[in-house]
Structure 1
Amino acid sequence: MTREKHDLAIRMAKLAQTIATPRTVEEILNDVAAAAIELIPDTDTAGVLLIHGNGRFESLGSVDELPAKLDQLQHDFQEGPCAQAALHDTIVRTDDFRNEARWPRYSPAAIELGVLSGLSFKLFTADRTAGALNLFAFQPNVWDAESETIGTVLAAHAAAAILAGRHDEQLQAALSSRDRIGQAKGIIMERYGVDDLRAFDMLRALSQESNAKLVDIAERVIDTRASNAMN
């Protein structure tokens, strides 16, 4: 194994450990962006773009402010390599924005910011949120097939971090919903003198009649107790 591949293997192992360690998604993405700059020659800056279902752009994991500025340009122009990778292609590479015709408004703006090369990788997040790991360079023609291979592996780490973070958020939301439903059942049991099963049936019936989520009905029941306490 060459020294470069050995270093790459060690760095990837460390990244895998960061995903398993309790940390925020943004902290892990910061590490992924830093690793891209460290492992892929001539990469000057890097970041992660998320495009949410409502069209909102979110810039994460940037080592400086430049990736966020480039993301904002793509949002404003509705074109660019990062958005292209997030929404469509697996890898989007530009060796010289001075000769790039795919994004007629974005390319000149990127050049004005000193960026001449771009390399973006789709993040497979299995959700309505699209994402891309994006690398930028101030020189043209800096990347090759090996750069794309390393970037693809880093993108997989970034996607895994996002999925893990989303799972934690969903778990916390589920636990919170369960607690609120439990509180609502307790209020109904006390107020109407019914048992646990009957209280839940009453909540479910209200949910079906009003075409509202069970947790929203539970929240209303909790709010009525708060209102009564104030009166």
Structure 2
Amino acid sequence: MPKRFVVAASEFPDLPLFAAGFELAEALTVAAQQLHDTVTPHNTMRTAVRLAVHLLPGADHAGISVIERTQHRRTVAWTDEVVRFAESGHTGREQAPYWENLWSAPVVRLEDSDADDGGAALSELGLRSALSLRLRADRRRLTVLTAYSRKPRAFDEVATRVGRLFTAHVSLALDSATVREQLTEAMRTRDLIGQATGILMERMDMDAAEAFDSLVKASQRENIKLRDLARRIVDANNAT
């Protein structure tokens, strides 16, 4: 009787030399460059799913989802609409038993959706096998890249190892894009607060320290984020 799904729990500390090693290395280098050229996490994930189809042996479609401990799953990037349909059909534990294993294993393979009781939604869409790889993990949620194939048992150990190498690059690029986005937002917030402080200085004849202190106290009093209060003051000033 065929095994319904395989959990590849190994961290693959000793990666093998592939027969086409130079070709794989070159492909991963190009992929890494494309990933690191993205400027936001969303663009990084959109680029990652497109690259996954080209790099992972056997992959026909790919998607990235965020899985909550509550079993809620949100698809954030996809190559085709079939991926969104496939993942929206798996929202409960009984429907997707192999996803549950991602909390304890970095990689999970679904060998054949026709043979797996939880793979009916995939089978109906013509998707016979899947390879899920963790990108991020904490106590509350997982970020997972899943490759899908129209063939059963499409993802072997080689595909899994290539997937592990690829997702390592994706994770690094995603972290880098997240930091850049946070820094950009921090600079925008600083500029916004600076503008609001300047407006208060002019209107209320205050120095910079007094104006900023007034802004902070108003934020606490009204239970509103300092950034949002600053934006409100700037927008009101621009409207006059």
TM-score of the two chains, using structure 1 as the length reference: 0.80
Partner of 2:11: none
Q: Does 1:47 align with 2:63?
A: yes
The alpha-carbon distance between structure 1 residues 18 and 72, as it changes in their structure 2 partners (threshold 3 A), is same
CA distance in 2, matches of 1:53, 1:220: 36
Partner of 1:153: 165
Q: Does 1:181 align with 2:193?
A: yes
Number of residue-to-residue matches in the alignment = 223
Question: Which residue among 62, 65, 70 is the counterpart of 2:86?
Answer: 70
The alpha-carbon distance between structure 1 residues 129 and 180, as it changes in their structure 2 partners (threshold 3 A), is farther
Q: Which amino acid aligns with 1:18?
A: Q
Q: Percent same amino acid among aligned pairs?
A: 29
Partner of 2:9: none
Displacement after TM superposition at 1:83 (Å): 5.0
Partner of 2:77: 60
Question: Which residue among 211, 214, 218 is the counterpart of 2:226?
Answer: 214
Partner of 1:193: 205
CA distance in 1, matches of 2:40, 2:96: 28
Displacement after TM superposition at 1:166 (Å): 2.3
Q: Does 1:122 align with 2:122?
A: no
Question: Which residue among 169, 194, 202 is the counterpart of 2:214?
Answer: 202
CA distance in 2, matches of 1:73, 1:124: 23
Displacement after TM superposition at 1:150 (Å): 0.9
1:181-226: per-residue Cα shift (whole Å, max 9, x none)? Answer: 1111111111121111111111122223333322223234335535
Question: Which residue among 107, 113, 117 is the counterpart of 1:91?
Answer: 107
TM-score of the two chains, using structure 2 as the length reference: 0.77
1:99-155: per-residue Cα shift (whole Å, max 9, x none)? Answer: 213x2xxx1121111111111011116696632111112222222222211111222
Q: Does 1:110 align with 2:122?
A: yes
The alpha-carbon distance between structure 1 residues 76 and 128, as it changes in their structure 2 partners (threshold 3 A), is closer
CA distance in 2, matches of 1:225, 1:133: 45
CA distance in 2, matches of 1:136, 1:16: 21
Gaps of 5+ in 2: 1-16
Bigger Cα displacement from structure 2, 182-191 vs 169-178: 169-178
CA distance in 2, matches of 1:167, 1:52: 22
Displacement after TM superposition at 1:42 (Å): 2.4
Report runs of 4+ in structure 1 exceeding 6 Å deviation.
125-128
CA distance in 1, matches of 2:184, 2:94: 34
1:62-115: per-residue Cα shift (whole Å, max 9, x none)? Answer: 1x32222212212488843685466664211111112213x2xxx112111111
